[in-house]
Structure 1
Amino acid sequence: MMNIHTYAAIDIGSNAIRLLINTIYETPQSVTFNKTSLVRVPIRLGQDVFTVGKISKKTINRLADAMTAYKLLMKIYNVDRYRAFATSAMREAENSSEVIKKVKEKSGIKIEIISGKEEAKVIFSSELRNYLESDNYYLYVDVGGGSTEISLLNKGSVLYSQSFPIGTVRLLDGKVEESYIPKVIKPWVEKITQNKHIELIGSGGNINYIFKESGKKEGKFLSYHYIHQQYELLKNLTYEERIEKFNMKPDRADVVVPALLIYNSIMRYAHATRIHIPKIGVADGMINLMFKRNRKI
């Protein structure tokens, strides 16, 4: 007998807000997660928070409108359970309590703020383990708008994990210098990867975009040379040229370069020659975690 469930996760990041809806097919032998819908809106909370320390009234209203729309979409899809969670920007916003209250009043959706460590745990509740070969060392790198999560994985376990306050929006707004990467991230990465053969697993909208544009088939990897090449190519183009030549969305054309800078640097520090992009993120992990917890009830 098959049971069918519909779960959703709303990921309120520093650069965009995403709604992921999954249909879950459960039998006594297996559980399959199927991505039914993924909606992304470019509400850049980090631009407010990393500049003035709080979220503006205009952005709060946009966020509340997005949550209202997401609530209607979840109703249309007959979603059984959902969680709405916020990461880096909301963690640092002075008025996060006010934002949560106003969004709840307007949309009925309650937002919870999760820590960097919780964010990493949620990600590893996803199907990420399916991509790990038992004896290989992988450096999982999730580059967001406000933070970068890096974890060393081996044999399905997390050996080291750290959240760094550097992301694409923070770099763009000049709230953190590029020098932070070699000063802080480099020694940490070199220490945990010393004398190990490392491959990267990349997560985030920007690396997903680069993989899609590469034309590679799902399950294939990108080389360090390719990532470096794309970084050099795009950083030497203007914002307008990136939009025109590559048909990029405006909210992708500015953040893709700092994202590639971070991935490129970490690959170099870890002496990694390839990066896997399984298109699994924190929203996937949240749905997986909700499902597992519900089964135990």
Structure 2
Amino acid sequence: MPQQNNSFAKRIAVMDLGTNTFHLLIAEGSPTDFKIIHHQTEAVKIGEGGINKGIIQQAAFTRGIKTMQDFKKQIDGAGASEVRAIATSALRNAANGNDFIAEVEAKAGIQIEIINGEQEAAFIYEGIKASGALTDENALIIDIGGGSVEFIIGNNKEVLWKQSFEIGAARLMDKFHKTDPIPVISIKAMTAYLNQQLADLFIAAMQYKPTVLIGSSGAFESFAEVIELEKGKAFDIKKTKSYEFDTDDLLELIERLIKSTHAKRASTKGIIPVRVDMIVTASLVTIYIMQKLGLVDVSMSTYSLKEGVLAGMLG
């Protein structure tokens, strides 16, 4: 049998085209131990102004095309041999999503795959698994995107249940967070809405009894960063795979964020600009799930969909 030449490691590019951010990850290595060559996050906000209307507005459309052209330059420059671009909720539900896909292919030479919520949840699980955050205990993984929220119940061996819900932070913000700080009446309306939308999750939680909550990247990275920076600790999210929250610290921060103004959040170190407003509805979803399911053991993984896709490609 001829020996494989491993001096040329397979270099792979994965793009996660979310409702708020487009991510590009170029890496090489093995599924659990890969070296990141390039990681770029752009606040495209493809859902801005149109998320609940099911349309990509012109300004967002243009930002998206420009970002994809830039990603193409980075991919070619890094010499990636395999490329995947995965689109989720916003493009999945936009009437002009296919126009965007066609224009990206024409102008950037990148083919976009639209995946459904089930596939999205499966990739997120693989990403969390690759980060080493799962144990043999049943965990509830939550990935709060701009367009959708994925819930997965599983452990380090298998997925027991998974579902995607179109209740992302941008959608909830558009529906409930119209004045700042968010009024109590809006919080009550949002809670009633979540009670109604998440019935399937509560049935699954009763069956599989998760004991820990794992937040996948996004707002959970901001929670961790704010907590650590306020303690005066040096914290580099890029060098962190997973993080365990002190429950009191997390609850205190969430309460503060819910009551905060835009200006206060914008001046808080650790919250990136694209999350300044959406972190309010993300905080409300987080505390809602913690209280509803009695989950006090909370951790965060910086790995998510793109690392799950990458793990599959490297494997």
TM-score (norm 1): 0.88
* Structure 1 range deviating more: 136-145 or 243-252: 243-252
Q: List gaps (5 residues or longer) in structure 2.
A: 178-188
**What is the deviation of 1:247?**
6.3
Shift of 1:155: 5.1
Deviations 1:9-52 (A, max 9, x none): 1111111111111121x5xxx96212232211111122243243
The amino acid of 1:108's aligned partner reads G
Shift of 1:53: 2.2
Does the Cα contact within 8 Å between 2:141 and 2:152 map onto a contact in 1?
yes
**Contact 2:24/2:39 (CA < 8 Å) preserved in 1?**
yes
Cα distance, 1:113 vs structure 2: 0.6
Could you tell which deviates more after superposition, 253-262 or 237-246?
A: 237-246
- Aligned to 1:194, the other structure's residue is in SS state helix
Which one of 272, 279, 284 corresponds to residue 302 of structure 2? 279
State the one-letter code of the partner of 1:276.
S
2:202 and 2:214 map into 1 onto residues whose CA distance is: 17
Q: Secondary structure at the match of 2:65?
A: helix
* Deviation for aligned residue 1:226: 2.8
Task: Tell me if structure 2 keeps the 8 A contact 1:146–1:165.
Answer: yes
2:10 is matched with which residue: 5, 10, 24?
5
What amino acid is the match of 1:54? I
Structure with the larger strand share: 1
SS at match of 2:13: strand
For the pair 1:243 / 2:266, whether they are aligned, the reply is: yes
Output the CA distance in 1 between the equivalents of 2:133 and 2:219.
Answer: 20
**Equivalent position amino acid for 1:90 in 2:** L
Indicate if the aligned counterparts of 2:213 and 2:297 stay in contact, CA closer than 8 A: yes
Moved over 6 A (4+): none
Please give the alpha-carbon distance, in whole angstroms, between the structure 2 residues aligned to 1:264 and 1:235: 10
Q: Residue 132 of structure 1: which of 134, 137, 140 is its match?
A: 134
CA, structure 1 residues 234+127, in 2 after alignment: closer, same or farther (shift >3 Å)? Answer: closer
Aligned residue in 2 for 1:208: 221
Q: Distance in 1 between matches of 2:293 and 2:86?
A: 31
Residue 45 of structure 2 aligns with an amino acid whose one-letter code is R
Paired residues of 2:48 and 2:60 also in contact (CA < 8 A) = no
Residues 155, 62 of structure 1: alpha-carbon distance in 2 compared, 3 angstrom cutoff: closer
Q: How many angstroms does 1:109 deviate by?
A: 1.0
Q: Matches of 1:127 and 1:163 in 2, distance apart?
A: 16
Inter-CA distance 181–228: structure 2 relative to 1 (3 Å threshold)? farther
Structure 2 SS opposite 1:46 = coil
Indicate if the aligned counterparts of 2:154 and 2:160 stay in contact, CA closer than 8 A: yes
Identify which range, 215-224 or 158-167, moves more after superposition.
215-224
Cα pair 1:148 1:163 within 8 Å, conserved: yes
Could you tell me the TM-score, scaled by structure 2's length?
A: 0.83
**Distance (whole Å) between structure 2 residues aligned to residue 220 and residue 102 of structure 1:** 39
| Distance in 2 (alpha carbons) for counterparts of 1:86 and 1:94 | 14
What letter corresponds to residue 292 of structure 2 in structure 1?
A: Y
Amino acid in the other structure paired with 2:195: P
Match for 2:251: what amino acid? Answer: H
State the Cα distance separating 1:124 from its structure 2 match: 2.7
Indicate if the aligned counterparts of 1:199 and 1:272 stay in contact, CA closer than 8 A. yes
Matches within 5 A, 1:111-260: 111-126=112-127, 128=129, 130-134=132-136, 136-154=137-155, 156-174=157-175, 178=190, 179-185=192-198, 187-194=199-206, 196=209, 198-215=211-228, 218=240, 219-246=242-269, 248-260=271-283
Instruction: Return the alpha-carbon distance in structure 2 between the equivalents of residues 138 and 145 of structure 1.
Output: 22
The runs of 5 or more residues in structure 1 that have no matched partner are: 293-297
Contact 1:11-1:84 within 8 A present in 2 as well: yes
Aligned length: 286
Is the contact between residue 13 and residue 87 of structure 1 (CA under 8 Å) also seen in structure 2?
A: yes
